[in-house]
Chain A
Amino acid sequence: MNVATTPDSCTIQLGEKLTFDHHVPFRAALKEALAAKGVIQLDCKSLNYLDSAGLGMLLLTKTEAEKQGRKVMLIHINSKVMALFQLVHFDKHFNLAESI
């Protein structure tokens, strides 16, 4: 999972899936993002599928970022993933930006 940092943001590039099997690389990426500064962006451009563990990782990101007074933004969300976010009301819980 790639992490790109700028002076005022940090972007974690999510893969095609975010599931129970991805929690180790995701936690490593999150650790890197938490060590950086500014808004944490989760880029969902390639993301097509999340399971409940994947949703849990998004919640963990939000909780850890808020402890540092930082914001989390999910960007480039496709309609399929957005439908799942709407089911679990993450569209209200997170700062989301749909794919253009």
Chain B
Amino acid sequence: MLPPSAPQLNEKGAHILIIDDEPSSCLLLATILHGAGFASTAIAHNDTEVFAEISRHPPDLILLDIIMPRVNGLEVCQKLKKNAQTAQIPVVFLSALEGVEVKTKAFSAGGVDYITKPYHKKEVLARVATHVRNSLAMGQLAAYNHAVGQELLMAEAFQKSLLPSDESLQTYKTTYALNLAAAFLPCTQLAGDHWAFLPIDKQTFGIFLCDFSGHGIAAAFEVVRLHSLLYEFRPFWRTPKKLFKHINKRLSAQLSAASFATAHYAVFDTNARMVEVLGAGAPALLQLCPSQKTFMFHNCSGLPLGVDAHKADFSYTKTPYQPHDIFLFYSDALSEAPHKAFGVDFLAANPLQTLLNLKPFTADAALKHTLSAYLSAPSATRNDDLTLVAVQPLEKRNS
């Protein structure tokens, strides 16, 4: 769990490294700092001692003299900034040099501040306190970001664990005589995509795909909620309108006003070779028909699930299909506007003709081709989860 609020910063507990070749200068600074309550200090007199001291006890702040024999302070700072382990440690330069040029060089080398010798005790303490506070706050922020990143990874793993396993997909392929391929590419922030294969009976199955509004862990939680609802309403898998009506009613009561899920659901009757498609604000379902060398989109518009408990305003179609037709389900990451801003439209006539001409013409090939096109588009367009599911009913041996 993340803390509900950040703990208070303990500035006086900070560890400060003083680097100066003059022992008396080091002693003076250490005395000033100790007198003000900064109990933890260390001293280094040259660049070799600096890195040994940092390895022994990484500091929260470095006070660094510029004029030193062998390697000067500017070079030491540049080395620190080039090293990933030490780059984040703030460096305050100390020098008797007052020119604008040397001060500019100090900041260019990566320094955060510059104190001119001779020191004024109050000024040193004020600047040290400011930079220690910033350093600790940055450390705390980095730790928090890391924790959030870990939570997102866990949520992503959980979200993926709800998707059909390779083993179950293999079983469905055999049971229903299908080619079937699926891909799920979560975005960095994690969004709310989910898909499910719903086996209804020996000749009927459903494919459900949804996309929750929003991003992050909350969207992942919504996926879990929807997954549970799908199984709670299992008796309605065969009747898409009833299934959506029940899910919509429940989500409308449970979701916040700004949350909803777009979804589409297709029920395939492999004996009758019919597909029923219900849409709730989802991208159109693509059907590729190789025998006629054509394709069609099934309208999946509709009020998203969870918006209004009393409005079951979904689109519905019932269409025949031929064995070897491919149905491509996709989330809006494939169809939405950012791609078009880069002159890319995966669902325009030309790319779809290419899909129709694929050899071999299989669900796996169609999915790989589409995924490859998506990944080769500018990465700036990939700000949402992408779910792709390609389903290709084949001839049934005993139909």
Contact = CB atoms under 8 A, between A and B. Distances in A.
B151 interface: no
A67 to B, nearest CB: 10
B246 interface: no
B337 A57 contact: no
Contacts of B338: 49
Interface in B322-338: 332, 336-338
A72 B50 CA distance: 64
Contacts of B214: 20, 52-53, 56
Contacts of A97: none
A22 B262 CA distance: 20
Interface in B292-338: 301-304, 307-308, 311, 313, 332, 336-338
Nearest to B340: A80
Given A52-B212, A52-B213, A52-B214, A93 B308 contact: yes
Interface core residue of A52, A57, A80, A92 (most chain B CB under 10 Å): A52
B37 to A, nearest CB: 38
Interface stretch (B53-61, B114-122, B252-260): B252-260
A59 B301 contact: no
Interface residues of B, number: 29
A80 B332 CA distance: 15
B281 interface: yes
B47 interface: no
A80 B338 CA distance: 12
A60 B215 contact: no
22 contacts: A49-B337, A49-B338, A51-B384, A52-B192, A52-B211, A52-B212, A52-B260, A53-B213, A55-B304, A56-B213, A56-B258, A57-B258, A59-B257, A59-B307, A60-B256, A87-B301, A88-B301, A88-B304, A89-B281, A89-B302, A89-B313, A93-B311
Interface of A: 20, 48-49, 51-53, 55-57, 59-60, 62-64, 80, 86-89, 92-93
